[in-house]
Amino acid sequence: MERRTFIKKSGATGLAIALAPTLVINQEEEYSIVELMGKSDIRLYGKNINLRKEAHDAFLEMKKAAYSDGIDLKIVSSYRNFQRQEGIFERKFITYTDEGMEPLAAIDKIIEYSTIPGTSRHHWGTDTDIVDGYRKVDGDVLVPEKFGAGGPYEDFKKWMDENSETYDYHLVYTDEPKRRGFKYEPWHYSYAPISIPMLEAFRSKNIVQLLQKETFYGAEHFTIRFLKNYIQNNILDINRDLL
């Protein structure tokens, strides 16, 4: 099943700000900045899956294999457009600042797990948050401890560690001790054959300049130094298999 998501387009260009990636999988496909920032139309496939065609097909193959081992791969969140990410960011910014936090402290708190709108990998239709649908879990399911030893998703995590890369799905934000940026997310997987060239295209843009043009709540507090650190730590300090 497929559907189309229609979002207002806007244009922007810029210069490269980061080092060239170490691996390129698909050099023929071109991705516009509005597409990379979740502001353009993309075709999504699968009811409650909402991924690009190749990522969707690979996910279904992985899901089928997991079923045979008693795991039900359930997507909690996949594609999110710019407006959706903007709503998440603004809601948290308003909540934290209303509680008395200084704006920059609120932003630092937000980016422990949530991305700045326009920079989310979920804009690409390649990334997805996954849990085991067979497990009944109270409260927030996306909590790292629930994927560890003794947690309800322990078997899921073990299965994914052993099998996900067979289907080209890689954990994005690992528990590597020296990794910076977003905290460990044992639920967030990316379809590498598409997300690697998309990241390459994204990092070739002047992301600092693009984000300085945004007008959502909190954006007025972005400094050049903050944005450069965010790009290096949160966008690029990820599982090296995805670079």
> What would the pLDDT profile of 181-190 be if each residue is shown by its tens digit?
999 999 999 9
| Residue 71 burial (C-beta neighbours within 10 Å; 0-12, 13-18, 19+) | buried
87 has a pLDDT exceeding 80: yes
Q: Determine the average pLDDT of the residues in 104-129.
A: 98
Pairing of strands 188-191, 127-132: antiparallel
- In CATH terms, 2-242 corresponds, of 2.30.300.10, 3.40.50.300, 3.40.50.1470, 3.30.1380.10, to 3.30.1380.10
- Per the prediction, the chain carries an average pLDDT of 90
* Dist. CA 175–CA 149, nearest whole Å: 14
* Dist. CA 109–CA 92, nearest whole Å: 9
User: If you write DSSP's letter for every residue of the chain in order, what string do you get?
Assistant: -EEEE------------SPPPS--S-SS----HHHHTT-S-EEEETTTT-B-HHHHHHHHHHHHHHHHTT--EEEEE----HHHHHHHHHHHHHHHHHTT--HHHHHHHHTTT-PPTT--GGGGT-EEEEEETTS---S-S--GGGGSTTSTTHHHHHHHHHHGGGGTEEESS---TT--SSPP-TTEEEEHHHHHHHHHHHHTS-HHHHHHT--STTGGG--HHHHHHHIIIIISSS-GGG-
64 has a pLDDT exceeding 50: yes
Which region among 2-11, 93-102, 126-135, 212-221 has the lowest average model confidence (pLDDT)?
2-11
Q: What is the pLDDT of residue 145?
A: 97
Q: What is this structure's pTM?
A: 0.87
C-alpha angle 148-96-220 in degrees, rounded to nearest 5: 115
Of 159, 158, 154, the residue nearest 143 (C-alpha): 154
Contact (Cβ atoms closer than 8 angstroms) between residue 62 and residue 169: yes
Spans of all domains in the chain? 2-242
Query: Confidence class of residue 202 from pLDDT cuts 50, 70 and 90?
Result: very high
Contact (Cβ atoms closer than 8 angstroms) between residue 192 and residue 124: no
pLDDT digits (tens, 9 = 90+) for 210-237: 999 999 999 999 999 999 999 999 999 9
Query: Confidence class of residue 41 from pLDDT cuts 50, 70 and 90?
Result: confident
195 has a pLDDT exceeding 50: yes
Q: What is the pLDDT of residue 12?
A: 35
- Tokens found for residue 213: 């043009």
